[in-house]
Amino acid sequence: MALVLVNNIHKSYSLGDVEVHALQGVSFSIGEGEFVSIMGASGSGKSTLMNIIGCLDIPSKGKYILNGEDVSSLGSDQLANIRKDTIGFVFQGFNLLPKMSALENVELPMLYKGVGAKKRREGAMEALKKVDLEDRADHQPHQLSGGQQQRVAIARALANDAPLILADEPTGNLDSHTSEEVMKLFVRLNEETGKTIIQVTHEPDMAHFSRRILTFRDGRMLRDEKVRT
């Protein structure tokens, strides 16, 4: 079954007097358990697409069906609920809350789900174990290296048991060695726990850790190719 089903979506917005058509009829589907990379130059519309897939935004036209539910025209509260249950985000700049420990950062999605304090702690500890950082649970972000911070962010994306992980240039701020570690972690999560992972990247090396690459240009999908292993 397709987890992400995008059917002829358009997105336009106005910048002052100019109408910008960021997406002009994009269609594809991503099945459960896939690991997909989205590539394209800046201005290709890939960020807009990620915002829509991540339920942070809705398309101007077309249908987006996530996990069997049409989310193309939901309100902001309903989108927040979908994000909470279905999507884990990993950002280029890690986006951890400062002055909070790694454990508390990982607990955050569960907090908004209304999970009790004890269960939150256990769940967050388990997520940190999956990224091999259980011994850093009490550290604050500034006490961790970039790679460790990104792994905490990945643990946070795992915390709610969401089926979909969306990573927006997850290695953009990391050196090549650490980048590779993060990619290997994604591959492991994808293979061992069956998480569906979609990442945006413009490094071909990183894209090749995934199984499928979608390439975008000028708001349209240019190529959809399998990666040979």
Partner 1 sequence: MMSFVETSRISFRALKANKTRSALTMLGIVIGVMAVIIMFAVGTGANRQISQQFASLGTNILMVRPGADRGPGGGSRNTVNTLVVEDAYSITEHCGAVAYAAPVYGGNAQTVYGNANYPAKVTGTILDYFAIQDWELVSGRAFTDQDVRSATKVCVIGQTIVEELFGGEDPLGKIIRVKKIPMVVIGILEELGDSPRGNDQDNVVIVPISTAQRRMFSPSRPDTVSMISVKAIDETHLDIAQKQIEDLLALRHKIRPGQDNDFSVRNLTQFVESAKSATAVMTMLLTAVAGVSLLVGGIGIMNIMLVSVTERTREIGIRMAVGAKSSDIRLQFLVEALTLSLLGGMIGIVLGVGGAQFISTGFGWATEVSLMSVLLSFGFSGFVGIFFGYYPAYKASLLNPIEALRYE
Residue closer to partner 1 by CB (options 44, 212) is 44
Measure Cα distances from 189 to 3, 42, 110, 225 in Å.
17, 28, 20, 22
What residue ranges bind partner 1 (CB under 8 A)?
A: 51, 54, 56-57, 76-77, 80-81, 83-85, 89, 91, 95-97, 99-100, 108-109, 111-114, 156, 160
Closer to partner 1 by Cβ: residue 89 or 209: 89
Distance CA 14, CA 68 (A): 31
* Least separation in angstroms between CB 156 and partner 1: 7
Instruction: Provide φ and ψ at 180, rounded to 5°.
Output: -65, -40
**CA 85, 51, 38, 128: dihedral to nearest 10 degrees?**
-40
Residue number, 88 or 209, with CB nearest to partner 1: 88
Q: How far apart are CA 69 and CA 47, in angstroms?
A: 22
Considering the complex, state which of residue 37 and residue 86 has its C-beta at the smaller distance from partner 1: 86
In this structure, are residues 11 and 48 in contact, taking their beta carbons and an 8 Å threshold?
A: yes
What the block records as the tokens of 191 is: 């293979």
Question: Taking the complex as a whole, how short is the minimal distance between the CB of residue 11 and partner 1, in angstroms?
Answer: 12
What's the closest the beta carbon of residue 201 comes to partner 1, in angstroms? 18
Give the SS3 label for residue 198. strand
Nearer Cβ to partner 1 (2/100): 100
Name the minimum Å distance from CB 28 to partner 1: 22
Q: Which is nearer to partner 1, 85 or 203 (CB)?
A: 85
We find the least distance from the C-beta atom of residue 55 to partner 1, in angstroms, to be 10
224 in Cβ contact with 30 (< 8 Å): no
What is the rounded radius of gyration, in angstroms, for the C-alpha atoms of the chain? 17
- Separation of alpha carbons 205 and 167, rounded Å: 16
CB of 91 to partner 1, least distance (A): 7
Q: What is the rounded CA–CA span in Å between residue 127 and residue 140?
A: 16
